[in-house]
Structure 1
Amino acid sequence: MTERAPAPGGLALVEALINTLRVDTGEDRLAAEFGVSGAALAEAADLREALRAACLAHAGHAMPDTAHTALNDVLAAAPLTLSVTPDGTAALRPTGDGLPARVAAAIAEAVAAGTWQRLKACAADDCRWAYYDRSPAGRGRWCTMSVCGSRAKMRSYRSRQQ
């Protein structure tokens, strides 16, 4: 949970959404940072956790069927349109201001750029912070090696010593 450079392009929105909840403390900033309330807040929280599950899958964890279904349902209902810029670049754009449509457009952009799989969630059970894996091989497991990675390696070392 240290400061890293944000994910590129629209993935920064997805990363910011996931990171509105600190798993270790339970602090939830979703309403304040995304301006949602009521039923929209509950839907945004469900979307956030389904996205976290997808990012954990990018890091090699199994994605629960419920999260997989929930994320596909939200993305299928997101209103997007294909637009072309004056220079001929085509992209999916949200047709409304809703968070699901903005997330769907960000994911579509990341898939096209080949960066979607590099948005991951920390493997530490007490962290699960979303981060963009900039390692050359794309095999990062922790949000930061100096905190979560170091703890995991120390636990592994101690278990081998016993």
Structure 2
Amino acid sequence: MPHTVEATPPALARLVEFVNTRRADGDIIGTPEQLTSWLRAHELLPEGTADTAARHRAERVREGLRALLATNNAEPVTSPRPDGLNPSARTELASLTAALPLTLDVTSTPPRLVPHTDEPVDHALATLLADVATAVAAGIWSRLKTCREPSCRWAFYDHSRNRGRTWCSMDVCGNRVKVRASHRRNAAR
């Protein structure tokens, strides 16, 4: 029986899409209006709008999540390009979680973490953090990763059977690493 690729759970697909709002060609949530639009498109913001402060919080949450996802992959490879991770992102995310509280909703079946804030954008960001907790509880958090290529750090869901995928794309980032390794071996001869 052939192995079929499982679908990425919707909440985790949303997390991956959120982390990937920072792209090489720009920032999809770079303005309050863009953040509002993205959150509404992903059914995270039924009312309200984002302001500049909310956009900055969203960027910090995004980069903190990117740093968390990077820990689910092997160490980054040697690259002449700068690493796409902010070294203080996890610390900043830790401080933000106090402002994005979650509570346990025991009235739902099964019980689940829900945002405990009235501010619409903070509610949306706390929902994304609740998705992290749900993934951890389901045992699938380690399947969320960022590309091992430091200059890329694109987020993806690892569908491989052994959870061993390390590149967002073997054709692009994986190939770059192979080419650099080949150049190093040839230079050492």
After TM superposition, the structure 1 = structure 2 runs for residues 57-136 of structure 1, keeping only pairs within 5 Å, are 57-61=71-75, 66-84=88-106, 88-96=109-117, 97=120, 98-136=123-161
TM superposition score normalised by structure 2: 0.71
CA offsets 1:57-115 (integer angstroms, 9 cap, x no match): 111349877222222222243232222466x4121122444232112211111111111
SS in structure 1 opposite 2:114?
A: strand
Larger displacement relative to structure 2 (77-86 or 107-116): 77-86
Is residue 7–residue 119 contact of structure 1 (8 Å, CA) maintained in 2? no
Counterpart Cα distance in 2 of 1:118 and 1:82: 24
Deviations 1:14-68 (A, max 9, x none): 211110111x33x000142236331111111111111111111111349877222
Q: TM-score, normalised by structure 1?
A: 0.82
Kindly tell me the number of residue pairs found equivalent between the two proteins: 155
Q: Does 1:156 align with 2:181?
A: yes
What's the CA shift for 1:118? 1.4
Q: Which runs of 5+ in 1 are unaligned?
A: none
Q: Residue 156 of structure 2 aligns to a residue in which SS?
A: strand
- Contact map agreement 1:6 1:132 (CA 8 A) in 2: no
What code does the residue aligned with 2:64 have?
A
Structure 2 CA distance for partners of 1:44 and 1:64, relative to 1, 3 Å: closer
> Which shifted more, 11-20 or 35-44?
35-44
Name the counterpart of 2:9: 8
RMSD of Structure 2 on Structure 1 (CA):
2.5
Unaligned runs of 5+ in 2: 1-5, 40-48, 77-84
The residue identity in structure 2 corresponding to 1:118 is R
Amino acid at match of 1:67: A
User: Which has the larger displacement, 5-14 or 97-106?
Assistant: 5-14
**Could you tell me which residue of structure 2 aligns to residue 36 of structure 1?**
50
Rg: which structure is higher? 2
The one-letter amino acid of 2:63's match is: E
Distance 1:153 1:58, change over 3 A: same
Q: Percent identity of the aligned residues?
A: 37
SS at match of 2:22: coil
Match of residue 143, structure 1, among 168, 181, 187: 168
